[in-house]
Amino acid sequence: MIKKSRKVRDYKELTKALPTMRFLEPESVYIHLQNGRCKTYDLYVKEGDYVKLGEVIGIRHGGFFEQPIHATVSGTVGTVSKKLHRTGRKVDCVEIRNDFKETYHESIVDRTDQAIAELTQDDMVQILKEKSLVGLGGSGFPSYIKLATKEKIDTVVINAVECEPYLSSDYRLILEHPRRVIAGMTYIMQALHVKTGIIAIKKSKDPLYQVLTQVIKGKFPEYDIQVVKLGDYYPQGWEIEVFRNALGIDVPHGELPMKYGVIGFNVSTAAGVYDAIKHNLPVTKRYFTLTGDAIKYPQNYRVKVGTSVKKLIELSDGFKEDYDKVNIIMGGPMMGVSTVSCDVIVSKTTTSVIVLQDTDYEEQPCVRCGSCVYSCPAHLEPVQIMNAVKRNDKDVMKGLGAYKCIECGLCAYVCTSKIHVTDYVRKAKRLIG
């Protein structure tokens, strides 16, 4: 019964070979005014106002930072209403009715290569702050804070592992726009005065290795950038695992990688750095995966931030099954959030929506097989944490290190009794703060 597993079928064959479909002209976009990190906001526009693409229309307030809110189309401001965020919560969104003119705000102006070469770390930090760039792999952490580090950085790592099953939007972004990703990486290297860069991919993704090495050799020969192949297991994309296997650096729990001379960014974030520095452009579009065995035509899309997933499902010819017989997951199947509605809006940090045929897994009593313990990449004892949650024993939860859980979902995946162990550990983290 005891089973250690880090192998998870990836199902990426549904979408990774398909060219990305562009859907950049929705009739309306719905811009999130709140998110998981920012609960309050100020909106600078009112219904009926005209706004331009890239214009600042408000600001979100986080705990120790603020995020400007940008229009992603030009058009007329509509009403504020509640829409579903990728966190599974409904938040305020403002509608902008598209005029289909793509009228850019006056601030959206290209920088010359010479002007970029003269930018300092402080200059680039300020640009990323004004353009509200955040971790686009899903973390949503403000990139300007990361880039403002005063630690001595030796290596910049672009995390292109994308180990969550089903997701292939980063894969397509690299294949279709490798130069944007690498150029963004070089801007980060310039800001931090770093000589060495690494792009980490899975060893099974040879097409990425081929395209990246060719572009580096042809367009960026003056940079010391290596493409490193890592293991084909889950969760290889966990940042700590990437640093360990790509550089041999172990970053202890609770410490920042920068202290060890390394800093990491997601693929989409690197492309976002390029757009912000080169074009002075905030994130107005993103690569997005709509897939699963219950959607007729799984597809990667390039969409405006604020696009309705309902519209994308229509473009994919809808569901195979009746709507009430499918499961909808926002994000990856291992770390994402289940929802009962497809009325979801694509935010900057929405990587995917997965629609699966309804499978009724009946939980059975724990048989103490130990599979969750043996498989946990953070070396925790998920089953014991679950038992502590059932007893509401916070001291034991703390003693078992529940706060170290990375919520990868592997414990629930390998559970022979089909128990949602990860949900119990998440609850433990909330209970102990």
Residue 163 in marked binding region: no
Instruction: State which of 279, 295, 311 marks the end of a domain.
Output: 279
* 86 located within any domain: yes
pLDDT at 84: 86
Pair type for strands 299-304 and 285-291: antiparallel
- 161 and 261 part of one domain: yes
Pair type for strands 352-357 and 326-330: antiparallel
Residue 415 in marked binding region: yes
Q: DSSP of 277-314, one letter per residue?
A: HHH-----EEEEEEE-TTBSS-EEEEEETT-BHHHHHH
Per-residue pLDDT tens over the stretch 34-66: 988 899 999 999 999 999 999 999 999 998 899
Residue 1 has pLDDT above 70, yes or no: no
- Eight-class DSSP state of 12: G
- 259 and 212 part of one domain: yes
- CATH code where residue 133 lies: 3.40.50.11540
- 143 and 272 part of one domain: yes
Q: What is the mean pLDDT of residues 389-402?
A: 96
Instruction: State which of 237, 256, 279 marks the end of a domain.
Output: 279
- 138 and 188 part of one domain: yes
Residue 2 has pLDDT above 60, yes or no: no
- Least confident span in 86-100, 141-155, 277-291, 386-400: 86-100
* 394 located within any domain: yes
Residue 38 in marked binding region: no
* 197 located within any domain: yes
Q: Which of 335, 284, 290 is nearest to 317 (CA)?
A: 290
* 70 located within any domain: yes
- Least confident span in 142-146, 234-238, 332-336: 332-336
d(CA 51, CA 57): 8
* 3 located within any domain: no
Widest CA span in the chain: 65
- 139 and 250 part of one domain: yes
- 85 and 191 part of one domain: no
Q: What residue numbers bound the domain in which 63 lies?
A: 12-105+283-357
d(CA 136, CA 144): 13
d(CA 135, CA 40): 20
**Mean pLDDT taken over the chain:** 94
Strand segments, DSSP code E, in 102-257 are: 155-159, 196-202, 224-230
d(CA 192, CA 128): 14
In sequence order, the β-bridge partners of residue 61 are 40, 66
Per-residue pLDDT tens over the stretch 146-163: 999 999 999 999 999 999
- 191 and 174 part of one domain: yes
pLDDT at 4: 65
- 33 and 157 part of one domain: no
- 94 and 204 part of one domain: no
* 362 located within any domain: no
d(CA 351, CA 168): 9
* 364 located within any domain: no
pLDDT band at 87 (very low <50, low <70, confident <90, very high): confident
Q: What is the mean pLDDT of residues 407-433?
A: 93
Instruction: State which of 251, 279, 307 marks the end of a domain.
Output: 279
Residue 93 in marked binding region: no
d(CA 108, CA 91): 28
Residue 292 has pLDDT above 60, yes or no: yes
* 165 located within any domain: yes
Per-residue pLDDT tens over the stretch 229-271: 999 999 999 999 999 999 999 999 889 999 999 999 999 999 9
- 181 and 306 part of one domain: no
CA distances from 100 to 53, 73, 110, 281, 315 (A): 10, 8, 22, 18, 19
- 384 and 240 part of one domain: no
Structure tokens at 47: 């219904």
Number of domains in the chain: 3
Is the Cβ–Cβ distance between 202 and 171 less than 8 Å? no
- 148 and 64 part of one domain: no
